[in-house]
Amino acid sequence: MSRSLNDDDKKMSRSGLINFNSIGLFLDYYELTMAKADLDHNNLNIITENYYVRKIPQGAYLVSAGLEQVIHFIENFEIAEEDIEWLNSTSGKDFDEKFYKYLQDFKFGGDVYAAPEGTVVFSNEPIINITGRSLDIQLFETYLLNVMNYQTLIATKASRVVRSAKGNDVIDFGARRAHGRDAAILGARAAFIGGVTGTSLVMAGRIWGIPYVGTMAHKFVQDRENELDAFREYAESFPHNSILLIDTYDTLKGARNACIIGKELRKKGFELKGVRLDSGDLLDLSTKVRKILDDGGLTQTKIFASSDLDEFVIEKLLQENAPIDGFGVGTRLITGANYNPITNEGNVSALNGIYKIVERIEADTAIPKMKITNDISKATLPGRKQVYRRSESGRFIEDMITIWDEKPDSKYDWHPILIPIIKNGKPIFDFPSLDEIKDYAADQIQMLPDGVKKNNGAQEYPVKLSHQINELINNILQSDKKNSQ
């Protein structure tokens, strides 16, 4: 049921942020026109659409993220009265009162099965199944793809960065380089699922409960007479939690000034928590800074690094024994950068997840649907599907994509990946906390074969198609060939 916008909603609208009531308009126009045509011709057929990813941009696995926001959208889908009035005044003669009433009365009554957030998934595997009336579930496409593609991209990138850090802290520094405000907030959430230990974005801490952290900027140092005064003032304000940025002028001199502050703090019963490097040759500088700190008696003071970091740079630094204890990762994390700065190879930073019809119910009979195209990479797998996974000795062995009611070979212990989230329009799944999702994702990644987790030259994880799916594909292709003759 649609509602009127209240004053707070209108203030949010002027700020450019999406408000709760207007979120129903987060769709592409053709979703409305198709729904109107379906309604005009009484197409109330039940169909199933799959969300899956055609090709993984980097590496050999994905960490699924974003489901909670998608389900919230489905459960609360509505279009405010003012938005319907706006649509009526701007869309020409495309819509009528019958269609506007359909939008005002909209309530999803179907089923959603999905892989829980944090689940490791692979290309062409269904991650979300949505079953319902065709005219209803097409309205979810744009929001679902926007949220799932982005958060899954960032959660996966974060998991790769965190793995490269080998147990050292990784902090999300990406807000200022994110592609918009929602990207910064949802990106911080996804990065936390992927394994980062905190974020610099305070709002992400407020919304998601993620630990928020920070050090200082170069401006703080430049705004004082000298670097030592800046360090001293900061340490006086935060004696329990001082991390000093030492590369504003001369990194090694900055390290020596940090030693002076560390000794002053120790006399007061505190320890200098750390120093941060944000430029230069991080291997060379961190090695020299470590020696200066150790020689100055600050053996417990940690070295943190930032400056265009990603999984490849961090992996190389630690392979060369850089004495760095933590990493702040910004641009290449929050944008999911598909780029290797070591080899200068890369491509577009995007996840090509899609949402396609796979089954239609006609007279209580399931009719599988398959997109057949000259571009084989864009062909779809037909039928409503489940994914089964088997593991041995704490390691994933293989996955099998099956038709929904099909069971894999019983001689192995398989478990289904897609679980019920909504049944007959009613939510039946209690979402875990973000900390629990993060822990689950870490367990999932731990169970991947080592070769699949490599940053370079990752092995492809085995995903098989069941006998019934292969048979179904062959039957559809043969039928299409006959019809085209």
Residue range 401-452, pLDDT digits in tens: 999 999 998 788 999 999 999 999 999 999 999 999 999 999 999 999 999 9
Confidence grade of residue 21 (pLDDT, cut at 50, 70, 90): low
| Listed residue (172, 457, 445, 444) closest to 335, CA to CA | 172
Distance CA(205)–CA(199), nearest Å, equals: 8
Distance CA(336)–CA(437), nearest Å, equals: 20
**Paired strand residues for 274:** 243, 302
Confidence grade of residue 479 (pLDDT, cut at 50, 70, 90): confident
- Say what the pTM is: 0.94
| Listed residue (72, 66, 26) closest to 153, CA to CA | 66
DSSP string, 74-131: HHT----HHHHHHHHHHSTTS--HHHHHHHHT----SEEEEPPTT-EE-TT--SEEEE
Confidence grade of residue 7 (pLDDT, cut at 50, 70, 90): low
Q: Is the pLDDT of residue 11 over 50?
A: no
According to the model, what pLDDT value does residue 6 have?
A: 56
Q: Is the pLDDT of residue 371 over 70?
A: yes
According to the model, what pLDDT value does residue 14 have?
A: 52
Distance CA(273)–CA(271), nearest Å, equals: 6
Q: Is the pLDDT of residue 343 over 50?
A: yes
Percent of the chain with pLDDT over 70: 94
Q: Alpha carbon of 40 to those of 44, 94, 206: distances in Å?
A: 10, 12, 45
Q: What are the pLDDT digits (tens) for 147-178?
A: 999 999 999 999 999 999 999 999 999 999 99
Q: Summarize the confidence of residues 86-91 as an average pLDDT.
A: 95
Confidence grade of residue 372 (pLDDT, cut at 50, 70, 90): confident
Q: Is the pLDDT of residue 391 over 90?
A: yes
Q: Is the pLDDT of residue 12 over 60?
A: no
- Sorted by where each starts, the structural domains of the chain and their CATH numbers stand as 7-154+350-484 (3.20.140.10), 159-346 (3.20.20.70)
According to the model, what pLDDT value does residue 13 have?
A: 45
